[in-house]
Structure 1
Amino acid sequence: MNTPDIRGQKSEIRNRQSGLAWLWLAALVLVLDQMTKLAVIQTMALHDAIPVTDFFNLVRAHNTGAAFSLLADQPGWQRIFFLAIGLVASGVILHLLRKTRGRPLFCLALALILGGAVGNVIDRLAYGHVVDFLDFHLGDWHWPAFNVADSGITVGAVLLVWQSLRKQP
């Protein structure tokens, strides 16, 4: 009697599924990002800081630039520029996810980046800036404040690099 190879069937199903099955993770990152930003907006004034530990504060900061406040001192053109980049990147990621099959680490990375990109696009559309609130520091030296969306983008980018170095699906 022949018994079906369950592992083979699972592998075949996984290979047939497009990466769009990972959109749940992008949605989770997006929802967590927007919920935490809304909580910060509703409970803190701009530049407020709440010490949590000796190395971490909750803050309310507005970033009109990109990562690390890059171009934040510009007169306003960067808002449209970063909106366009976020929208184009989201479209490219959706296309890649639709075409990707059987590469879970790649899809995981893209989903994290997508959720973060959309979260920051929503901020730029709604407020004209991105709301940041996580502030890690060592004494008086502070890492630039960031948010859940930025974390998703960063972890996703690191996973993409790691996956490319491994040369495996």
Structure 2
Amino acid sequence: MVRIDRRRIAALLLAALPAAVLAHGDAGHARHAGPVVKEQKPWGIAGERAAARRRIEVGMSDDMRFTPARIEVRQGETVRFVFRNRGQTLHEFVLGTKAVLEEHAALMMKFPDMEHDEPYMAHVAPGTSGEIVWTFNRAGEFDFACLIPGHYQAGMVGQVVVTPATQRSR
């Protein structure tokens, strides 16, 4: 028998839900108005669009793949990601560590209408585009995924490799 710790689930849900949120079912998924909350994460921090010197286009498709699925950046680099959903279903891009993404994917399976809107994620309706700006201020290998129920499980994942500022990119 599986024991459910309701307090832990409630705490996880509250941590994932900022005050201004959008549901996956909301049309357009416009970003909330006001300043972006800059919270340091293991994979970086929200960036300023004016600071982005590089733009990376990422395609999303109904074959449950991102193109490219591997992205290389330098530590300290601020990147403007532009996402193009070429499919017929909603997709999203969520940056994180593998553990964070797996935990969030499990919650999405249990609560598919879960509401959230963080600066490290973009919801992209079919045939539209979206973007995030992110500063990779920590070196390492990080992940991204579409956490719409079933998409992560079907392999809609990718990786960002952040090379230390003192090292050259491959």
Structure holding more strand per residue? 2
Is TM more than 0.5 here? no
Structure holding more helix per residue? 1
- How would you bin the TM-score normalised by the shorter chain? under 0.3
Larger Rg: 1
